Amino acid sequence: MAKEKRPSREEVYELLEKKYKEYNKLSFIADDPVQIPHRFSKKQDIEIAGFFAATLAWGQRVTIIRSATRILDLMDNSPHDFILHHQDTDLKRFLGFVHRTFSDTDLLYFIEFFRSFYTDHDSLEQAFTQGMAPAAVHTETALTGFQQLFFSLEDHPQRTRKHISSPARKSTCKRLNMYLRWMVRKDRRGVDFGIWHTIRPSQLLIPLDVHVDRHARRLGLLRRAQTDWQAVLELTESLRGFDPADPVKYDFALFGMGVLDK
């Protein structure tokens, strides 16, 4: 069987740019978990709603959106206010929640962490930037530091640790990288929010899942055998060759070709 011809660098660039523009638009929001934080205008509500949507983002998108919607409904669709001012009796409403392997135990700890954090901080961005040098090439130390901070509360459930990944465990950290893309990237197309300003778009890393991985390999952008943290770094570096200031914008292209193209 003849070996498939690999496209030229120019052809790859033209394809990525075309698909980026095709999917980075408001119509993309309706069927994607990013629609969840788009229901809010208050910065902290966007952060919290986005974090829950990103955390639940595995499986069918319809199910992800339904589960995230239920969490926010239980918070009276005012997540920041609920986090800061709820009473212990209000937490009973979350008992029985489940999304795949994410249970009410996990959800209640997320609420506990957010309450502890937002009592002393204005923005969740500070939870990521505390361990990241401003001149860092990328967000690896931000993700490692965030995971450590998230589980710094006494008696956190061990089972919940699997829901917050870390580069230290060689995970791709797909959901956290996607969340950072939402919060940090800003353009005029209206999908990503750009409400965080300490982390720069040039420092973001690609949210790598099986769909992005498959098309990145077909285009010659990723050669590493394993789909792991090193693969994230390799693919992001390849994408920086096309746009050093905003490499992760091509997530729209690679994800779109993997999931949305017919």
CA–CA distance, 95 with 44 (Å, rounded to integer): 24
What percent of the chain clears pLDDT 70, i.e. is strictly above it? 97
Max CA-CA distance within the chain? 66
Domain boundaries, the chain: 9-260
Instruction: Find where tokens 């923005």 sit.
Output: 123
CA–CA distance, 65 with 204 (Å, rounded to integer): 24
Q: With 70 as the cut, is the pLDDT of residue 56 above it?
A: yes
Residue 5 has what pLDDT?
73
Determine what percent of the chain falls in helix, strand and coil, rounding each to the nearest 5: 60, 0, 40
CA–CA distance, 153 with 149 (Å, rounded to integer): 8
Would you state the structure tokens that stand for residue 238, as one six-digit string? 């390849």
Q: With 90 as the cut, is the pLDDT of residue 203 above it?
A: yes
Residue 260 has what pLDDT?
58
Question: Would the CA dihedral through 175, 180, 183, 187 be positive or negative?
Answer: negative
User: What pLDDT digit, counting tens, does each position of 75-118 carry?
Assistant: 999 999 999 999 999 999 999 999 999 999 999 999 999 999 99
| Mean pLDDT confidence for 252-257 | 93
User: What pLDDT digit, counting tens, does each position of 2-12 carry?
Assistant: 556 778 999 99
